[in-house]
Structure 1
Amino acid sequence: FSRRVGGGFGIALGFAHRAIRSLCGAETTAPISGQRALRVEALRATLPFARGFGMEIGITVDAVRAGYRLREYELDLEHRATGRSLAGFLHRGRQLSDFARVYLSRMGRGGRRR
């Protein structure tokens, strides 16, 4: 995203950064942007997708571990921040839970390739 619009305290986003770095060595700017573009071969290497909000982390880790290069491009998109409300914190809690599930599921397989 071209403009940073946050809602929480950065815990879920920080976890996503650290999980990706830990699992495959990739440094990301927007690990949970929701936007992904893959060639067919890279797509096949990332199937089946992780469920829920963990899909983005799973795709990134699986593609990098399979030897594909990661590139990030700034897009002129805006994020609809959920804010620091109960609904916002519940949303980020679900995200963090899904991120942790993907992290744990990939800890023992594949290893870092960097």
Structure 2
Amino acid sequence: MRRIPLTVSQKIRSARARHGLCDAMVALALVWTCSACGGGVTLVRDTPTGGLVTYPFQHEVDILTSTERRDAMELISRKCPNGSHVQKEGEMPKVSRAADRAWRGQMGGERLWGIQFTCEALP
């Protein structure tokens, strides 16, 4: 079977297609990597005796059952190996009410849940 060489325009199209495929694969890998680390649990306030952890949620059912909640509790456990006590928890405002009024609620649908905790002292 005889191979017919590609013309210059065919070579350029072929190279562009390969380049586009590589770009798509890199973009997909970047999205996958960032989805694993982005926007998750954040230690907002870190003190020697405790702190404040926040995580995003969209619906009320996500507050207690999400993987972010599990990650938040794991972070608290790592910070307080002797145990911890949750002082209070609840929804936290992402923006001030004045900014939300100015933007008429267009700031996004993701909400934040906060857990304020203290570490147990050594017995």
- Same fold, TM exceeding 0.5? no
**Interval containing the TM-score (normalised by the shorter chain):** under 0.3
Query: Relative contact order (C-alpha < 8 Å, sep 6+): which is higher?
Result: 1
Higher strand share: 2
Whose Rg is larger?
2
Higher helix share: 1
TM-score by length of 2: 0.24
